[in-house]
Every structure is written in C-alpha cells, then in structure tokens.
Structure 1
Amino acid sequence: MYQVNKRDIVISILLSIVTCGLFMLYWQYCIAKDVNELTDHREDTSAGMVLLLSIVTCGIYKFYWLYRTGTKLDETFVKVGRQNQSRSILFLLLSVFGMDLLVYSIIQSELNELTPYGNITINI
C-alpha cells in the first residue's frame, strides 16, 4: 500500500530556501514517486533513479523528467475530464530558465488536486 499525502507548498518552498536546495532534492523524490503512482505509470523510472540521474547528469535528466511528468499529468487530467494544458512544455521552459521551485510548486498543486480528500491510500 502506498499513501499519497497532500504537501504544503509554502512550507516546501521555505524549506528548500532555508536548506540551500537540499530539501528540493527530497521534494523531487516525493513528487516523482507520487506522480508515478497517481498517474498509473508505476513501471516508469523510479523516484530514486530520477534523483540519481538528475544528480549524475548535472540536472540534464531533470529536464526530460519534468517533460515526462507534464505529459503524465496531462493524460491523467484528460481522463478525469479536464482540459489538456500542455504542462510538459511549461515545465520544461520554466526549468530551463532556472525556475525549478515554481515548477515543483505547480506539480505539487496538481498532485494535491488529484488527492482531493487529504490522504488517500493506493493498493500497489
């Protein structure tokens, strides 16, 4: 069983700033794990591998991962009846211009919207 929790975006941003970006690495790990679970892409790259590849490639893999994350979220929101918004291009462009905190905040907001009742439990 995997439990997806709503996360407070403001606290995550503040912790990322106070820890000089170290918390942002943990946040990336959590986002990767939650996105794979909530979008039914459990076979995709694991959260640990996303973090490792992002570090080893000096952030280049992160661009690909953010693009894929946008695609997964677009597919999921179309399934639940919302309009496709091309999140993948938005995430990629914002990240290229160094706005990772903004991208993670948007993704977390979307994940919080997919878990409308607080904590949900997903059977793996």
Structure 2
Amino acid sequence: MVRNRSIVVCIILTFITCGIYGLYWYVSLANDVNTVAGVQDTSGGMVLLLTIITCGIYGLYWAYKCGEKIDIAKQNRGIASSNGGILYLILYLLGGIIAYALIQNEINKMA
C-alpha cells in the first residue's frame, strides 16, 4: 500500500536524525514507486544495499529508472507524462533529498 507522506516532515526528520530517516524514506520510495507503477523490480531494501555496495552509483541508476516507472504509472492512469528520469538523475547528483521530494510529490499525486 502506498502512503501519502508529508514531504516537509520527511525532510525535517532526515535532518533531525542525521540521515537515518532518509535511508528509511529511500527504501519506502523504492517500494512505493514499484507499487504505483505495477512493476515488481528491485525491492527497497535491495536498492539501498546496492547503492551502499556500489558507493552510490546504483542510486544514480535507480533515480533514472524511478522516472521511467513514474511515467509508466502516469500513462496507466491516463495522465500526460514526460521523461522525468533525466530530471531525477540530475537532481540526485545535486542532492538526493531534492529528488526524493519530487518523487514523493509524484507518488502523493497518484496515491
């Protein structure tokens, strides 16, 4: 089940917990995007593990694929979609939390 999370609360909790909540949010986003798109790819826990093992490189791939999955979810709902994968990839490079916030916003719209 996809949860409608407050983006502001998630960002504040990430800073207050020195990033620990950010890891939970990352896992939840990966699971929620899979659920919304109807695709059961890599689970959130595995995404986190692969990102840690590859020193963040898998996170770049995940951000791009996340955009594609959100586009699939939008198309399934009859909503116009754009190539968000490139946007999420660039924002993930600049600061992951910005990409998390935009991804969460899209998930909240579809929840």
Runs of at least 4 residues off by over 3 Å: none
Structure with bigger strand share is 1
Give structure 1 stretches of 5+ with no counterpart. Answer: 116-124
- Deviation string for 1:56-91 (max 9, x for gaps)? 111110000110010010111122222222110000
**What is the percentage of aligned positions where both structures have the same residue?**
42
Give structure 2 stretches of 5+ with no counterpart. Answer: none
Tell me how far apart the structure 1 counterparts of residues 92 and 43 of structure 2 sit (CA, whole Å): 20
TM norm structure 2: 0.94
Question: Which residue number in structure 2 is paired with residue 121 of structure 1?
Answer: none
Tell me how far apart the structure 1 counterparts of residues 58 and 39 of structure 2 sit (CA, whole Å): 18
TM norm structure 1: 0.85
Structure with bigger helix share is 2
Tell me how far apart the structure 2 counterparts of residues 76 and 38 of structure 1 sit (CA, whole Å): 6
Higher relative contact order (CA 8 A, sep 6+): 1
Tell me how far apart the structure 2 counterparts of residues 39 and 78 of structure 1 sit (CA, whole Å): 9
- Bigger CA radius of gyration: 1
Structure 1 counterpart of 2:30, one-letter code: A
Tell me how far apart the structure 1 counterparts of residues 96 and 49 of structure 2 sit (CA, whole Å): 17
Tell me how far apart the structure 1 counterparts of residues 56 and 20 of structure 2 sit (CA, whole Å): 14
Q: Does 1:66 align with 2:72?
A: no
* Pairwise CA RMSD: 1.0
